[in-house]
Amino acid sequence: MQVLIVKTSSMGDVLHTLPALTDAMRAIPGIQFDWVVEEGFSQIPTWHPAVDRVIPVAIRRWRKNWFGSEIRQQRCDFKRQVQERRYDCVIDAQGLLKSAALVTRIARGSKHGPDCKSAREPFASWFYHQRHHIDKQQHAVERLRELFAKSLGYAKPQSAGDYAIAARFLNHPPADAGQYLVCLHATTRDEKHWPEQNWRALLELVAATGLKIKLPWGAEHEHQRALRLAEGFSHVEVLPKLSLQQVAEVLAGAKGVVSVDTGLSHLTAALDRPNITLFGPTDPGLIGGYGKHQHSIISPEKNMATIAAESVLAELLKVIA
Q: What is the pLDDT of residues 129-186, one digit of tens each?
A: 999 999 999 999 999 999 999 999 999 999 999 999 999 999 989 999 999 999 999 9
pTM of the prediction? 0.96
Asked whether residue 206 falls in the same domain as residue 142, the answer is no
Asked whether residue 32 falls in the same domain as residue 143, the answer is yes
Categorize the per-residue pLDDT at 285 as very low, low, confident or very high, splitting at 50, 70 and 90: confident
Residue-wise pLDDT tens digits, 192-201: 999 999 999 9
Asked whether residue 102 falls in the same domain as residue 226, the answer is no
Question: Would you state the pLDDT for residue 59?
Answer: 94
DSSP state of 210: T
User: Mean pLDDT score of the chain, rounded to an integer?
Assistant: 97
* Domain ranges, residue 60: 2-164
**What number is the average pLDDT over the span 47-62?**
97
**What number is the average pLDDT over the span 48-52?**
98
Asked whether residue 149 falls in the same domain as residue 175, the answer is no
Give the number of other Cβ atoms within 10 Å of residue 6's Cβ.
Answer: 27
| Dist CA 171 CA 202 (whole Å) | 30
Asked whether residue 175 falls in the same domain as residue 147, the answer is no
Asked whether residue 194 falls in the same domain as residue 178, the answer is yes
- Among 138-147, 285-294, 302-311, whose mean pLDDT is lowest? 285-294
Asked whether residue 215 falls in the same domain as residue 73, the answer is no
- C-alpha torsion 253→172→41→89, nearest 10: -130
Asked whether residue 281 falls in the same domain as residue 248, the answer is yes
Asked if residue 286 has pLDDT above 90, the reply is no
Q: DSSP alpha helices (H): ranges in 125-256?
A: 140-152, 166-170, 196-206, 220-230, 244-252
Which neighbouring-strand residues pair with 181? Answer: 213, 256
**What number is the average pLDDT over the span 226-231?**
98
Domain end: 164, 179, 199, which one?
Answer: 164
Q: What is the tally of structural domains in the chain?
A: 2
Asked whether residue 250 falls in the same domain as residue 276, the answer is yes
| Dist CA 76 CA 159 (whole Å) | 42
Strands (E), 249-316: 256-260, 275-279, 294-298
Categorize the per-residue pLDDT at 280 as very low, low, confident or very high, splitting at 50, 70 and 90: very high
Phi–psi pair at 188, nearest 5 degrees? -85, -25
**What number is the average pLDDT over the span 286-313?**
95
Domain end: 122, 145, 164, which one?
Answer: 164
**What is the CATH number for 246?**
3.40.50.2000
Asked whether residue 298 falls in the same domain as residue 213, the answer is yes
**What number is the average pLDDT over the span 222-237?**
98
Asked whether residue 196 falls in the same domain as residue 129, the answer is no
Domain end: 128, 144, 164, which one?
Answer: 164
Question: What's the sign of the alpha-carbon dihedral 216, 220, 221, 226?
Answer: positive
- C-alpha torsion 148→151→152→157, nearest 10: 40
Asked whether residue 311 falls in the same domain as residue 183, the answer is yes
| Dist CA 78 CA 56 (whole Å) | 8
| Dist CA 211 CA 189 (whole Å) | 29
Residue-wise pLDDT tens digits, 59-100: 999 999 999 999 999 999 999 999 999 999 999 999 999 999
| Dist CA 88 CA 112 (whole Å) | 11
